[in-house]
Chain A
Amino acid sequence: MKLGDLTELAARNLREAILRNSLTTLGIAVGVASLVALLSLGVGLQQLVNRSVARAGLFDTVSVRPRQNTPFGQPGGGRRNPRDAASDLVPPRVLDDAARKEIAALPNVLEVNPEERFTAEARLEPNTQLVMVAGMPPSSQNSGTLDGLMGSFFSGPDAEEVIVQGDMAKRLLNEGQPPASLLGKEITLRFAQRQALPPPSQQAASDPPNQAVGPDEEAMGFSIVPSEKNFRVIGVTPSSDSGGGPVGFNNAGIYLPLAVAEKLQVVQQSDLREMSRSGAADGVRYAALNVRASSPAAVAAIESSIAQMGFTSFSLIDVTRNLRTFFAIFDLFLGIFGSLALAVASLGIINTLVMAILERRREIGVLKALGAADRDVRQLFFAEAGVMGLAGGIFGVALGWAIGRAIQFATAVYLRRQGMNSPNIWSVPLWLVLGAVAFAVVVSLVSGIYPASRAAKLDPVEALRYE
């Protein structure tokens, strides 16, 4: 039989047992709907994460550090980045101003900023908190890192102002006060400052070893003194539970203008290591530099140039690769759960078609008597399964879309009531629509294999005798 005749007969057979076939089709639709709803949620969440990561401008940032453990260097701790293997022949270098200029001159590099990070004690009477403080370059104002900022950005590069992360703000304030109430207040930061030693001649004169400068400090070339400074809170970022706040490897509790942070002369974690390596402190040494590329595509080339110079680099491109793997697995799981519903629906198809065979024995016999081959009968049942799958698939996608909309709407209402902004956590891409319909048809056809071959094998003489 021609395809046109097959579908015509199939559609008419389906119409005849409209209630049962509609219920079967509805079963497929529910299966497809759960598949679509789950997967669109997965896709939506993935897009949400990708959006916030991309918005924070983190794909275009490379962190540069001095290489530590190489055949040329002194024994140091730490694991070696496998990417450095290719540049093992390049001797490690000190991350100084010359290196900074060299990196800044690389193609596609927009800016190079020292990474200033240190632990400090923040005080707002009567509360004190241990906090990670980071210096923030002026370019961060527009990078998206500070989306949803309350208050304002630093008034100038040298302003003695801080931006406080929302969760930290809550901890500094007394119970129940909103983070925004921190704006305009003065907070005190207490930190470890490095101070240059007095000249060696003086040291030699005051013979018994003095109290302030011990032999260790002498070896380092500087001394460490506790220091504190007051800052005015000019901005507060949203707290993490409202889905906002800075993300990425520069995450901190309190942000200072980068230039201000540099001037504080805080002891960096790497100072001791650097000192023991090069013996004496002359000129500026950076623990790390943050390099901003003009586009994420340029990151790989910049990273390899930096490795050639003798430094270690790190970018979030490596991290997002893992993130993508995570979401692939996450979607797979959602897909499996959705498919289970569809598997149940396929049992419905098998049941309906087997029942149809029992009911339509005589009809099958008549068709064969009139010249239908086994193949025609088989195809007719296949067509019926396929039509149910197609209808169920289309209806299911619509239903899944509606369910997704409902979830999205309910989440938005809930989040808004909690005073948070509601991100779009749900997305139905075209590939999902087409894929779901195709999947429903394929599952239906597979379900139709057994009933169809049973119908095809029916003995017409038996079937016609049956009254």
Chain B
Amino acid sequence: MDVSETQANGNGNAIRADKVSRHYQMGGATIRAVHEISLEVRAGEFLALLGASGSGKSTLLNLIAGLDRPTSGAILAQGRDLAGMTSEDLAKHRNRTIGIVFQSFQLLPRMTLEENVELPLRLAEVPRAERPGRVREALDRVGLAARVKHRPSELSGGEQQRAAIARALVNQPMILLADEPTGNLDSKTGDEIMHLIAGIHRPASGAGRTVIMVTHERALAEQYADRIVTLSDGAIAREERLR
């Protein structure tokens, strides 16, 4: 069994970033949104990315998600280099390996919860017969089984974010990425969402998941994360291991 296999399956790295940069050219100036960040995230770890607004957290998360490509450096997800992937493979990586949750939920407003959650299954070409069961299961897990026919606009913010989490998990990805998942929620609802994410990271039974969460609330990070990486001006300013 080779190294990458071990990394992919067990206690190896879920994500490894190697001197990753993402620069933007604005007129004559170069904006270093992310500059030469090296980072390792173990499989099953809960990592919090902390930092002020504009410090490069979202940019780094998008690079890990494969939504964006680095200007330089390498990112390996479960041992596979994203830079070497075709855009088709990268799409598959977004679809199967990771699940993403955004601050503003990003549910499609014209679709019911059920249909929103079905989308990743459609893209993965999961057989039609299998889909309703998996959709139901995912929505059940976030406590929305009774709301499957509702549209996002008929739900509270917390419920919408839970639906988004169901959508992120329906394809059973190994890694959950969350960009300020509680940013648009009041603190009580935010706590509920964090509780849900913690349960996904380390469920009462069954396998856990790697979680990388962007937040600017230190308290949340300290409460749930195994490790906190603080960014500043596109670079790592501090690293703290909590558990």
B76 near A: Cβ within 8 Å? no
Contact assessment for A368 and B125 in the assembled complex, using a CB-CB cutoff below 8 Å: no
Find residues 20-58 in chain A having any chain B CB closer than 8 Å to their own CB: none
A2 to B128 Cα, complex, angstroms: 10
How far, in Å, is B127 (CB) from chain A's closest CB?
Answer: 9
How far, in Å, is A463 (CB) from chain B's closest CB?
Answer: 10
How far, in Å, is A187 (CB) from chain B's closest CB?
Answer: 84
How far, in Å, is A360 (CB) from chain B's closest CB?
Answer: 9
Query: Which one of B116-124, B154-162, B213-221 is at the A interface?
Result: B116-124
Which one of A9, A369, A375 lies within 8 Å of B94 (CB-CB)? A369
What residue in chain A is nearest B120 (Cβ atoms)? Answer: A370
A422 to B167 Cα, complex, angstroms: 67
Residues of chain B within 8 A (CB-CB) of A371 are 91-92, 94-96, 120, 123-124, 171
What are 8 inter-chain pairs, A to B, with CB distance below 8 A?
Answer: A363-B108, A369-B94, A370-B95, A370-B167, A372-B95, A372-B123, A373-B92, A461-B62
A467 near B: Cβ within 8 Å? yes
A12 to B167 Cα, complex, angstroms: 20
Beyond A371-B120, A375-B88, 14 additional pairs, beta carbon < 8 A: A2-B122, A2-B125, A5-B122, A362-B106, A366-B106, A367-B119, A369-B94, A370-B167, A371-B95, A373-B87, A374-B88, A461-B67, A464-B102, A464-B106
How far, in Å, is A206 (CB) from chain B's closest CB?
Answer: 114
Find residues 367-395 in chain A having any chain B CB closer than 8 Å to their own CB: 367-376
A310 to B119 Cα, complex, angstroms: 83
How far, in Å, is B151 (CB) from chain A's closest CB?
Answer: 12
A367 to B94 Cα, complex, angstroms: 10
B68 near A: Cβ within 8 Å? yes
How far, in Å, is A364 (CB) from chain B's closest CB?
Answer: 11
How far, in Å, is B168 (CB) from chain A's closest CB?
Answer: 8
B138 near A: Cβ within 8 Å? no
A1 near B: Cβ within 8 Å? yes
Residues of chain B within 8 A (CB-CB) of A372 are 91, 95, 123
How many residues does chain B have at the interface if contact means C-beta atoms less than 8 Å apart? 27
Residues of chain A within 8 A (CB-CB) of B95 are 370-372
A131-166 CB contact bits vs B (8 Å, 1 = yes)? 000000000000000000000000000000000000
A335 near B: Cβ within 8 Å? no
How far, in Å, is B67 (CB) from chain A's closest CB?
Answer: 5
How far, in Å, is B33 (CB) from chain A's closest CB?
Answer: 10
Residues of chain A within 8 A (CB-CB) of B102 are 369, 464
What residue in chain B is nearest A2 (Cβ atoms)? Answer: B125
How far, in Å, is A21 (CB) from chain B's closest CB?
Answer: 14
Which residues on B are within 8 Å of A, measured CB to CB?
62, 65, 67-68, 87-88, 91-92, 94-96, 100, 102, 104, 106, 108, 110-111, 119-120, 122-125, 128, 167, 171
Which secondary structure characterizes the binding site on chain A? helix
A91 near B: Cβ within 8 Å? no
What residue in chain A is nearest B63 (Cβ atoms)? Answer: A461
Residues of chain A within 8 A (CB-CB) of B128 are 4
Contact assessment for B88 and A373 in the assembled complex, using a CB-CB cutoff below 8 Å: yes
A460 near B: Cβ within 8 Å? yes
How far, in Å, is B61 (CB) from chain A's closest CB?
Answer: 10
How far, in Å, is B140 (CB) from chain A's closest CB?
Answer: 20
A365 to B92 Cα, complex, angstroms: 15
A464 to B96 Cα, complex, angstroms: 20
Contact assessment for A370 and B110 in the assembled complex, using a CB-CB cutoff below 8 Å: no
What residue in chain A is nearest B119 (Cβ atoms)? Answer: A370
Given contacts A370-B119, A374-B87, contact A16 B108 (CB under 8 A): no
Residues of chain A within 8 A (CB-CB) of B110 are 12, 16
